[in-house]
Amino acid sequence: MYVLRDPSETKHAKNTAILLPLVFKNTTIIDGSIDAIIEQVNAISITNAAILYPSETAQSLDNTNLTIDTLIVLDGSWKKAYKLFMSIPVLQSLPCVSFANPPATRYTIRKSKLNYSLSSFEATAHALKAIELIDVSPALTFFDRFITMQISSMPKHVQSRYFQK
């Protein structure tokens, strides 16, 4: 699996893609300038590759007939992920996969007006569950602990906003 990370995400405190290699061993994060990302992506074998991205033509991960050997995840806000997708020509030749009925987000720290807006970690875990038929509950438990740790490090008056949910 490859995670293409928008350059601005490398310093973002709430970036969850950094957790992926801790839980999913075959994860490579690719970041840097767009040109550097393009160079590295062009070196990837894209046989049976798919992009985890909800494009208009995305295939549902509920489709059990999908054969995906390489999952490519775009990490960043919706706007940044779209920019990555549009800036890297080879990505536009690959099929996209997404969720017909995305699970609810667990990432209560991040604010999003979109019900289907999962963090990169959550989306990847659920995608791997569908593609590889693996149990991702340990990964999601790890993620829940990460969220609790983030909230615990906040000032007390800020913590109360999150523990009431």
What does DSSP assign to residue 110?
S
DSSP element (H, E) containing 82: helix 78-87
Instruction: Transcribe 3-26 into DSSP letters.
Output: EEE-GGGGG-TT--GGGHHHH-TT
Question: How many CB atoms sit inside 10 A of residue 41's CB?
Answer: 19
pLDDT tens digits, one per residue of 80-109? 889 999 999 999 999 999 998 888 787 766
Q: 1-16: per-residue pLDDT in tens? A: 999 988 777 766 667 7
d(CA 156, CA 144): 19
- Domains (ranges, CATH) in the chain? 2-163 (3.40.1280)
Residue whose tokens read 């300038």: 33
